[in-house]
Structure 1
Amino acid sequence: MLSLFTPPLTGKSRLPRRELLRIGGLSLLGLSAGQLAKLRAEDATASGKQPRAKACIFLFLFGGPSQIDLWDMKPQAGPEIRGEFNPVATNVPGIQICEHLPLLAKQMDKLCLLRSMSHRMNVHGPACSEIFTGRPYFGPPTTDQATREDWPSLSSLTTRFGKSNRGLPPSVVLPWYLQFTGQAKKIAGQTAGRMGESHSAMLVQGDLGRADFELAGLRLPEDVPWERTVNRRDLLDSIQANQSASKAFGNGLTMLDENRRRAWSLLEHRAGEVLDLQREKPETREKYGQTTVGQSLLMARRLVEAGVSLVTVNWQDETHIDGVNTCWDTHQENFPKLKTLLCPLFDKAFSAFLEDLHQRGLLETTLVVAVGEFGRTPRLGQFEQSSNTRKTGRDHWPHAFTALLAGGGVRGGQVYGSTNENGGYVKEKPVSPADLSATILHHLGIDPQQTWPDEFQNLPRKLSEGKAVRDLG
Structure 2
Amino acid sequence: MKMSPHITAPLRRRDFVSAGAAGLLGLSLPQLMAAKDLAKQAAPPAKAKAVILLFMWGGPAQQETWDLKPNAPAEIRGEFKPISTNVPGIQVSEHFPLLAQRCDKLAIIRSMTHGDVNHTTATHHLLTGFPYRQGADFRADWPHMGAVLAKLGRGKDPLPPFVQMRPKMPGDVPRFVEESHGQFAGWLGSTWDPLTIDARPDLPDYRVGDFQLQEGWSAERLQGRKSLLGNLEDRLTQLENRGSLGARARHYSRAFDLLASGAGQNAFDLTQEPDKIRDQYGRNPHGQSVLQARRLIERGVPLVTVFWPNDGIKNVSVYWDTHSRNFIDHKERLMPPADRAFSALLDDLKERGLFDETLVVWTGEFGRTPKIGQRNSDAGAGADGRDHWPNCFTSVLAGGGIHGGQVYGASDRHAAYPVDNPVNPVDLVATIYHQLGVPADLELPDTLGRPLVICPGRPIQQLIS
State the shift of 1:169 in Å: 2.4
Q: Partner amino acid for 1:173?
A: Q
* Contact preservation (8 Å) 1:61, 1:328: yes
Q: Secondary structure at the match of 2:304?
A: strand
Q: Secondary structure at the match of 2:71?
A: coil
State the shift of 1:204 in Å: 2.3
**Structure 1 pair 77–233 and aligned structure 2 pair: CA distance change class (3 A):** closer
Q: Secondary structure at the match of 1:380?
A: coil
* Contact preservation (8 Å) 2:63, 2:415: yes
State the shift of 1:162 in Å: 4.4
1:202-235 Cα offsets, whole Å, 9 max, x none, are 2222111222112232111232233443454566
* Contact preservation (8 Å) 2:162, 2:302: yes
1:348-382 Cα offsets, whole Å, 9 max, x none, are 22211111111111111000001000011112122
For 2:381 and 2:316, how far apart are their aligned partners in 1? Answer: 18
1:36-83 Cα offsets, whole Å, 9 max, x none, are xxxxxxxxxxxxxxx996111001101100111111111111111111
User: Which residue is 1:385 aligned to?
Assistant: 377
State the shift of 1:468 in Å: 1.6
Q: Partner amino acid for 1:332?
A: S
Q: Secondary structure at the match of 1:391?
A: coil
For 1:72 and 1:99, how far apart are their aligned partners in 2? Answer: 12
2:51 to 48, 53, 56: 56
User: Which residue is 1:193 aligned to?
Assistant: 186
Q: Partner amino acid for 1:133?
A: T
For 1:389 and 1:262, how far apart are their aligned partners in 2? Answer: 46
> Does 1:361 pair with 2:353?
yes
**Within 5 Å, which residues of 2 pair with 1:28-43?**
none
For 2:148 and 2:437, how far apart are their aligned partners in 1? Answer: 12
User: Which residue is 1:159 aligned to?
Assistant: 150
**Structure 1 pair 112–183 and aligned structure 2 pair: CA distance change class (3 A):** closer
Alignment root-mean-square deviation, CA: 3.1
**Within 5 Å, which residues of 2 pair with 1:283-432?**
283-317=276-310, 325-432=317-424
Q: Partner amino acid for 1:167?
A: P
Q: Secondary structure at the match of 1:364?
A: helix
Segments of 5+ residues of structure 1 without an aligned counterpart are 1-50
2:429 to 412, 434, 437: 437
1:301-330 Cα offsets, whole Å, 9 max, x none, are 001100011111111137x87999541111
2:462 to 429, 449, 471: 471
Q: Secondary structure at the match of 2:69?
A: coil
User: Which residue is 1:38 aligned to?
Assistant: none
User: Which residue is 1:100 aligned to?
Assistant: 95
Q: Partner amino acid for 2:301?
A: V
* Contact preservation (8 Å) 2:47, 2:400: no
1:364-419 Cα offsets, whole Å, 9 max, x none, are 10000010000111121221113441221111111111011100111221111111
Q: Partner amino acid for 2:81?
A: N
**Structure 1 pair 177–161 and aligned structure 2 pair: CA distance change class (3 A):** farther
1:65 to 46, 60, 75: 60
Q: Partner amino acid for 1:209?
A: D
| TM-score normalised to structure 2 length | 0.81
User: Which residue is 1:271 aligned to?
Assistant: 264
**Structure 1 pair 413–244 and aligned structure 2 pair: CA distance change class (3 A):** closer
User: Which residue is 1:461 aligned to?
Assistant: 452
**Structure 1 pair 225–291 and aligned structure 2 pair: CA distance change class (3 A):** same
For 1:150 and 1:250, how far apart are their aligned partners in 2? Answer: 21
2:438 to 421, 446, 449: 446
**Structure 1 pair 82–235 and aligned structure 2 pair: CA distance change class (3 A):** closer
For 1:244 and 1:329, how far apart are their aligned partners in 2? Answer: 49
Q: Partner amino acid for 2:127?
A: F
Q: Partner amino acid for 2:218?
A: P
**Within 5 Å, which residues of 2 pair with 1:134-149?**
134-139=129-134, 146-149=137-140
2:215 to 222, 227, 251: 222
More displaced, 125-134 or 268-277? Answer: 268-277
**Structure 1 pair 322–358 and aligned structure 2 pair: CA distance change class (3 A):** farther
* Contact preservation (8 Å) 1:453, 1:461: yes
For 1:387 and 1:52, how far apart are their aligned partners in 2? Answer: 41
More displaced, 249-258 or 184-193? Answer: 249-258
Q: Secondary structure at the match of 2:204?
A: coil
2:163 to 165, 172, 177: 172
State the shift of 1:448 in Å: 4.1
Tell me the matched-pair count: 415
For 1:453 and 1:246, how far apart are their aligned partners in 2? Answer: 22
Q: Secondary structure at the match of 2:123?
A: helix
State the shift of 1:246 in Å: 8.4
* Contact preservation (8 Å) 1:132, 1:153: yes
More displaced, 153-162 or 419-428? Answer: 153-162
Q: Partner amino acid for 1:292?
A: P
* Contact preservation (8 Å) 1:166, 1:269: no
* Contact preservation (8 Å) 2:83, 2:94: yes
Q: Partner amino acid for 1:160?
A: K
1:282 to 271, 275, 284: 275
For 1:430 and 1:129, how far apart are their aligned partners in 2? Answer: 19
**Structure 1 pair 335–184 and aligned structure 2 pair: CA distance change class (3 A):** closer
State the shift of 1:281 in Å: 1.0
For 1:52 and 1:230, how far apart are their aligned partners in 2? Answer: 39
For 1:208 and 1:324, how far apart are their aligned partners in 2? Answer: 26
1:420-465 Cα offsets, whole Å, 9 max, x none, are 1221111112211111111112222222412233458x85321112
For 1:64 and 1:433, how far apart are their aligned partners in 2? Answer: 14
State the shift of 1:255 in Å: 6.7
* Contact preservation (8 Å) 1:326, 1:342: no
For 2:420 and 2:105, how far apart are their aligned partners in 1? Answer: 22
For 1:254 and 1:467, how far apart are their aligned partners in 2? Answer: 34
User: Which residue is 1:133 aligned to?
Assistant: 128
For 2:229 and 2:80, how far apart are their aligned partners in 1? Answer: 63
Identity %: 40
**Structure 1 pair 162–386 and aligned structure 2 pair: CA distance change class (3 A):** farther
For 2:82 and 2:206, how far apart are their aligned partners in 1? Answer: 38
